[in-house]
Amino acid sequence: MDVRETARLISRVESGDEAVRDRVKALYRQGGRARIVGISGPPGAGKSTLVDQLIERYRARGLRVAIVAIDPSSPFSGGAVLGDRVRMARHATDRGVFIRSLAARGALGGLTAATGDVLAILDAAGWDIILLETVGVGQNEVEVMRIVPAVLLVQNPGDGDAVQSVKAGTLEIAHIFAVNKADMAGADKVARNLQEMIAHKARQTSEGWEEPVLLTEASNGRGMDELVAAIDARFAFLDANPDLARREEKTRLQARIKELVTQHIHRRIATSVKNGGMADLLDAVADRVQDPHSVAETLFRDITA
């Protein structure tokens, strides 16, 4: 599948074209070879600059790299606010690099409803490395862990709430930590705090993977070779522990299947609302003749019949 066909297929998936679903089903069965890395973290942490540096290093190895950047949505068009030509512009003419922005469209968790299918398409298309950059919504970005085997959490020492946000929950989603903009004051302190929290977490788990904490300056490349080595080590760990890798993959697939079931239900509900199927039920609830629980049960029976 060439780049143009890949781009067209992604556009159809993002637009919600149901006619393309059978193609995506077939492509999933052809994948499973790409290394997929999720890159998460709060706005302003330098994720895009870091991705740009990763592209450079993977291309130097001769690897084909695809980037999926989840962007905030325009309140007017619903499209991505930041386009793929704005990001990583120096790689735009490299045929070994594919860059695509997807609009978040209000989805929670830093991803978009189309993300899973887009990753499946790129995997089947033969890209060696897929970098998934989330939208940047801080501690809500937990969804990325449910879709990729390696998650890099980028922190910014200039954000006074950086470590607090990790304490609030994002510590659980990351396999690798990068304290970016390490030339700024406080970077060493943030790294030490992260290491202490990871050590405490390790006492509570027995997974076997020890999350590294790296200092990086993506603007000038400092620490990037070490970061690439850490990503390599994560996949080498999974290769060396196939039972664990299989369990983690099944957990991700379970979350993906639940997500797809939810999408099917939402589409059926939307169709029912559009066709006026809920009008009488809503009147009954408003008049207190019916209650929301009973109506929900009735609607569920109707859409799953």
Q: Which of 101, 104, 66 is nearest to 86 (CA)?
A: 101
Residue 222 to residues 58, 64, 122, 185, 227: CA-CA distances in angstroms?
Answer: 16, 23, 29, 16, 10
Predicted model pTM: 0.85
In order along its 305 residues, the chain shows pLDDT tens digits of 889 999 999 999 988 888 999 999 999 999 999 999 999 888 788 898 999 999 999 999 999 999 998 876 443 344 444 444 455 667 878 899 999 988 765 444 445 678 899 999 999 999 999 999 986 654 445 677 778 999 999 988 865 555 555 555 567 778 999 999 999 988 998 898 888 888 877 655 557 888 999 999 999 999 999 999 999 999 999 999 999 999 999 999 998 898 888 888 887 777 766 666 677 888 889 999 999 999 888 878 877 76
Q: Which of 165, 140, 173, 156 is nearest to 70 (CA)?
A: 140
Q: Which residues pair with 99 in a beta bridge?
A: 67
Chain mean position to CA 41: 11
Domains and CATH numbers, the chain: 3-240 (3.40.50.300), 256-304 (no CATH)
Distance between CA atoms of residues 106 and 109, nearest Å: 10
